[in-house]
Structure 1
Amino acid sequence: MPADHVPPFLNPSRRQLLGASGALALGGLLPAAASAQPAWPAKSVRFVVPFAPGGSSEIVARSTAAELSKTLGQSVYVDNKPGAAGNIAMSEVARAEDQHTLILGHIGTLAVNPFIFDKLPYDANKDFKPVSLLAKVPSLYVVHPDVPAKNLKELIAYVKKNPGRLSYGSAGNGSAGHLAFEYLKMTAEIFMLHVPYRGTGPMMTDLLAGRLEASAVGAAAVLPFIKSGKVRCIATGSAKRLPHLPDVATVAEQGFPGFEMTQWYGMLAPANISAANLDKLATETAKAVKAPASLERLNADAAEAIGGTPAQFAQFIAAEQERWKKVLLRAKVKPD
């Protein structure tokens, strides 16, 4: 065989050489493409709460954040930004572009504000992606001990005999307590005067002093006063009786089947969050709210952990908007 003769199987064609070089080039690009999408989260995650510290929102947010910090590999911290019925915080987070900013959604910011404000700085349905419904907190219907009613039926009978003489207080126009009582009034066909306050604290002060006859309050804020006898719980807005108050019947049990009134809290992300990041966040959040430490804190607050999917939370928000729109329009609720 001549020295310069190379067998065909050792002499690759031009096409083969091009194919080999292309494969090498592609192989070199694959790691680069993979590295172009770094693992998420890449830094600390800010979880904005559109309310002042304290109360059920704080417990729900901090419990969830603590568990997510363990599973996401980055710290998740709570940032309270109250003001303007939650509109300030919602507007800021709607425009966040860093993929590391979230917000605690609430019945007020998602199902009330869109119907009581003439113009909102955010769109509840377009500016956010639902992540997970975290928890529900039942509203408790309470009266001052001087009111001659031991249960809801007796209160309704007393109000109908004394129309316009009794008043109830809330933390403000459009607050969860305001909604809860207006919903009861509409359902039971009774009339009581609404007295709005700037917060649950001052409202409770007047209720305890007897300057108000009744209120609907989130369980966390009022359970201690019920236990001490300073107010009387005549019904719970929960779907079933609370272990904390086993002798108190629900509104549904007292003649109004299907009635349920709960405050609720869920996680939202800005609408620009990537699908991959949303999927990961939703999976970990649903697990976080059901973790033993979270359940312990929420149960102590009479809150029910939910932990649903983004689709389930989206459907829930739509149903709540439809339900409360009717109540708000009938009650002619306007912001303070």
Structure 2
Amino acid sequence: MKRRTLLAACAATAAAWPACQALAQGYPERAVKLYQGFAPGGNADAIARAVGVEMGKAFGQPIVVEAQPGAGGTIAAATVARAKPDGYTLLLATGGHAVAGALYNALPYKTVADFEAVSTVTYFPFLIVVNAGSKAQGLAEILASAKAAPGTVAYGTAGIGSTHHLAGELLTKMAGVSMMHVPYRGDAASVTALLGGEVPFIIAPPTAVLSNIQAGKLRAVATTGPQRWPGLPKVPTVAEQGVAGYDVRSWAGILAPAGTPRPIVDRLNAEALHALQAPSVRQRLEDMGGEARGSTPEEMKALVARELEKWTQVVADAKIPRQ
């Protein structure tokens, strides 16, 4: 049976299962491409390389990370969605994958249905950060100011439609306040704005602000995850400060094109989980503010579906124009 025909049969019928398993046993026979949709050298690139190198050791074939930046990661996602489902083209998806599905009107792929989930790789929270000279000692004071003067308290993020932005919109909804969003061109620009006093606080990932926090220039007043971030264990969560149930974390995980045979997905999943146990990989992810955490394919697919539903509702509630 030709390889292309076998791949189709694997996706369509259980009768081809023995042949599919044989295919998976010989996989991979060549290098695997792992696309990521952001600039080289950024968080997504570093995550892909850390996990990909370790998986490549087990495979005996390299996993080549290829950056295809642009449009919030959707260009890379479209490339993988259109690729042959043979396990040789993968996507390092981030939380922005679900955000894009909520924000863009006409993506050339379906956020959930056009991919096979492999495993999550890491989760990391955002930090709510003020200037070191700010009078606000906690989030409660910021929210109190916003209640007293609706629409006047501003916050900065990396841009309209970013996960940071939607995290802010969800906060205003759950806290019952109105605040003004100020978008910047990336995290570096929002940090510069905060240091310069343009906005009273920003929402940003740990990697973008930690050096300035350590230097005493900025101060974190809250973390957006369900537990305190180990990197700043004294900083309480948003939920601890009166917004019960608030939980916003970004994540990264591996996706394959829909129709990739389950034995290949299972092999990828096993090697991803094994890679996440490597001390060097765990340390690299922790250095970026993340927590190494794998999953089953089913758990990751459910995560993407939940995130898509959540952010679709936030976009609608905040009346953010769909792109």
TM-score calculated relative to the size of structure 2: 0.88
Q: Counterpart in 1 of 2:128?
A: 141
CA distance in 2, matches of 1:238, 1:221: 17
Q: Counterpart in 1 of 2:209?
A: 222
1:49 aligns with 2:30: no
Q: Counterpart in 2 of 1:326?
A: 313
Q: Give the conservation status (yes or no) of the 8 Å contact 1:181–1:215.
A: no
Q: Give the conservation status (yes or no) of the 8 Å contact 1:137–1:262.
A: yes
Gap change, CA 1:213 and 1:273, over 3 Å in 2 = same
1:161 aligns with 2:148: yes
SS in 2 for 1:124: coil
CA distance in 1, matches of 2:266, 2:68: 26
Gaps of 5+ in 2: 1-18
> Matches of residues 170-185 of structure 1 in structure 2 within 5 Å?
170-185=157-172
1:263 aligns with 2:246: no
Please give the per-residue CA displacement for 1:220-257, whole angstroms capped at 9, x wherever unaligned. 11111112222221100122122221221111111223
CA distance in 2, matches of 1:139, 1:238: 7
Residue 293 of structure 1: how far off its partner (Å): 1.0
Gap change, CA 1:243 and 1:275, over 3 Å in 2 = closer
Residue 144 of structure 1: how far off its partner (Å): 2.4
Moved over 6 A (4+): 32-38
Gap change, CA 1:255 and 1:41, over 3 Å in 2 = same
Gap change, CA 1:54 and 1:160, over 3 Å in 2 = farther
> Matches of residues 24-43 of structure 1 in structure 2 within 5 Å?
39-43=26-30
**RMSD after superposition:** 2.0
Q: Counterpart in 1 of 2:239?
A: 252
SS in 2 for 1:104: strand
Gap change, CA 1:146 and 1:165, over 3 Å in 2 = farther
Larger Rg: 1
Residue 116 of structure 1: how far off its partner (Å): 1.7
1:310 aligns with 2:277: no
Gap change, CA 1:83 and 1:48, over 3 Å in 2 = same
CA distance in 1, matches of 2:167, 2:21: 51
Q: Counterpart in 2 of 1:11?
A: none
Q: 1:127 aligns with which of 75, 96, 114?
A: 114
SS in 2 for 1:266: strand
**Which amino acid in structure 2 is aligned with residue 100 of structure 1?**
Y
Residue 38 of structure 1: how far off its partner (Å): 6.9
Q: 2:87 aligns with which of 93, 99, 113?
A: 99
1:112 aligns with 2:99: yes
CA distance in 1, matches of 2:199, 2:149: 15
Gap change, CA 1:191 and 1:284, over 3 Å in 2 = same
Identity of aligned residues (%): 39
Residue 288 of structure 1: how far off its partner (Å): 1.0
Range moving further from structure 2, 157-166 or 123-132: 157-166
Equivalences, count: 304
CA distance in 1, matches of 2:131, 2:160: 21
SS in 2 for 1:147: coil
**Which amino acid in structure 2 is aligned with residue 130 of structure 1?**
A
CA distance in 1, matches of 2:132, 2:215: 11
SS in 2 for 1:60: helix
SS in 1 for 2:75: helix
Residue 64 of structure 1: how far off its partner (Å): 0.6
SS in 1 for 2:126: strand
1:290 aligns with 2:277: yes
